[in-house]
């Protein structure tokens, strides 16, 4: 059974997150998006964990997957997940690391939360800051339950990641030490894609995952994973696929495994290029090196981005593809396509949302529309939207890479397109 999984999102209790991120709203968004298994996010936060306890029920005893008690069916399942921020000193350097954690059941989360609450403040934010070293946290988790799953979040971003230019390490072993053998995966993050990560041979033994890290409903599944999982669906089967790097067999076969990841265009991520936001300056790694990693406008240090850091640690040339590499596709969210096609600045405008609802009603969920809908059979919508879908699938885009905390810009239509008869107004 093919399942779409988004394994890293947040709740309304995390900083800079939508107050609309309730379990019911997340579930409703997943139905629109086409997500089958979604992270709960933030299970260390007491009030959110109370909601998880009261509003969800296990699909069957021991499954480790949960559905809303009020759901009409079990189409959308929740997997117990959270992200934690570790800030600590190691090798005379302050480290800031974000990790994704998946729990096998509610009982394991309850035990973990009690342990963390004794030493750390887990009540100030849905993504708590813990003053504990990465290997110590891994050991703690596995002592509570050996079926916890832990992996680095957004592995390359400058400020809060294992390989980040500001506070990260050069190898996983430097970070996780004797616990490295229990790290089975990594998350690409919005500013990198699998092809960039394939350049580092040290990652070959890990499962490459892509998740949305959504802070609002409309960003759910901007990155996701497609897995083939046999019924009955369970946490243990997902765990085994990730731990053992299982890759789904070719079409028509029923072998469990990861089939594909769905990717944000990495250039659209906030840290793809190097740059200095205050001076509105960004550049490729080669230019940074020429400038000795200083902003040419003010001479302050550049924030070294993901592309530069990948090139620094890579031991393979760009374009290398490992054996049994899982395919991926790059996406632009449907409401962004609609907004540009209609010449509207905000994806949240009434006109865009009305058109979005119509397309979901007429054609199916968003991922189906983006990936599989036969464009020749589309009727009843503005032809510019259809052309936008075609261009996104073909990668015919105009891209200005993000840097230093600024999202990149993805444009589907050029200025000349907008001036042509019948094109954008």
Residue spans of the domains in the chain: they are: 2-267, 333-419
Count of CA atoms in the C-beta half-sphere (13 A) of 108: 22
CA distance linking residue 107 with residue 100, whole number of Å:
18
Q: What is the pLDDT of residue 148?
A: 98
The CATH architecture one would assign to domain 2-267 is Alpha-Beta Barrel (3.20)
Residue pointed to by tokens 């090139």: 311
Check residue 251 and give its pLDDT.
53
How far is the C-alpha of 364 from the C-alpha of 176, rounded, in Å?
Answer: 43
Pairing of strands 93-102, 81-90: antiparallel
Region for residue 411 given its phi and psi (left: phi exceeds 0; alpha: psi -120 to 50; beta: otherwise)? beta
pLDDT of residue 196: 98
Q: Does pTM top 0.75 for this prediction?
A: yes
Looking at residue 253, its pLDDT comes to 54
The answer to whether 370 touches 389, Cβ cutoff 8 Å, is yes
Tell me the three-class secondary structure of the chain, residue by residue.
CEEEEECCECCCCCCCCCCCCCHHHHHHHHHHHCCCEEECCCCCCHHHHHHHHHHEEECCCCCCEEEECCCCCCCCEEECEEEEEEEEEECCEEEEEEEEEECCCHHHHHHHHHHHHHHCCCCCCCCCEECCCHHHHHHHHHHHCCCCEEEECCCCCCCCCCCCCCCCCCCHHHHHHHHHHHCCEEECCCCCCHHHHCCCHHHCCCEEECCCCECCHHHCCCCEEEEECCCCCCHHHHHHHHHCCCECCCCCCCCCEEEEEEEECHHHCCCCEEEEHHHCEEECHHHHHHCCCECCCCCCECECCHHHHHHHHCCCCCCCCCCCCCCEEEECCHHHHHHHHHCCCCCCCHHHHHHHHHHHHHHCCHHHHHHCCCHHHCCCCCHHHHHHHHHHHHCCCEEECCECCECCEEECCCHHHHHCCCCCC
**Which residues of the chain are modeled with pLDDT < 50?**
421-425
């Amino acid at each position: 059974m093919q399942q779409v999984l988004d394994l890293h999102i947040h709740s309304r209790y995390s900083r800079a997150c939508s107050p609309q991120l309730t379990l019911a709203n997340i579930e409703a968004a997943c139905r629109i998006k086409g997500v089958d298994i979604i992270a709960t996010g933030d299970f260390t936060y007491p009030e959110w964990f109370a909601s998880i306890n009261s509003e969800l029920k296990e699909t069957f005893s021991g499954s480790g997957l949960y559905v809303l008690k009020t759901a009409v069916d079990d189409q959308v399942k929740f997997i117990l997940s959270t992200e934690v921020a570790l800030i600590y000193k190691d090798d005379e350097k302050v480290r800031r690391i974000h990790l994704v954690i998946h729990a096998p059941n509610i009982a394991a989360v309850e035990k973990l939360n009690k342990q963390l609450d004794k030493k750390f403040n887990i009540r100030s934010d849905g993504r708590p800051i813990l003053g504990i070293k990465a290997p110590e946290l891994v050991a703690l988790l596995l002592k509570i339950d050996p079926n916890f799953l832990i992996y680095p979040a957004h592995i390359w971003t400058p400020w809060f990641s294992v390989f980040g230019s500001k506070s990260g390490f050069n190898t996983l072993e430097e970070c996780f030490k004797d616990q490295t053998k229990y790290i089975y995966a990594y998350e690409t993050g919005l500013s990198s894609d699998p092809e960039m990560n394939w350049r580092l041979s040290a990652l070959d033994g890990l499962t490459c995952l892509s998740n949305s890290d959504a802070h609002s409903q409309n960003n759910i599944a901007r990155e996701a994973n497609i897995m083939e999982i046999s019924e009955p669906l369970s946490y243990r089967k997902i765990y085994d696929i990730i731990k053992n790097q299982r890759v789904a067999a070719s079409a028509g076969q029923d072998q469990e495994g990861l089939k594909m990841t769905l990717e944000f265009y990495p250039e659209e991520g906030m840290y793809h290029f190097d740059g200095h936001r205050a001076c509105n300056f960004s550049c490729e790694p080669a230019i940074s090196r020429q400038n000795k990693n200083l902003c040419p406008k003010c001479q302050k240090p550049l924030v070294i981005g993901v592309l530069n850091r990948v090139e620094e640690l890579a031991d393979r040339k760009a374009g290398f593809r490992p054996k049994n590499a899982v395919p991926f596709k790059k996406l632009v969210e449907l409401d962004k396509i609609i907004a540009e096609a209609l010449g509207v600045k905000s994806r949240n405008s009434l006109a865009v949302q009305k058109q979005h609802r119509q397309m979901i009603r007429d054609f199916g969920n968003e991922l189906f529309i983006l990936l599989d809908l036969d464009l020749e059979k589309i009727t009843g919508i503005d032809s510019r939207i259809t052309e936008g879908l075609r261009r996104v699938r073909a990668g015919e885009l105009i891209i200005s890479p993000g840097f230093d905390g600024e999202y990149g810009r993805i444009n589907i239509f050029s200025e000349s397109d907008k001036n042509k008869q019948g094109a954008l107004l």
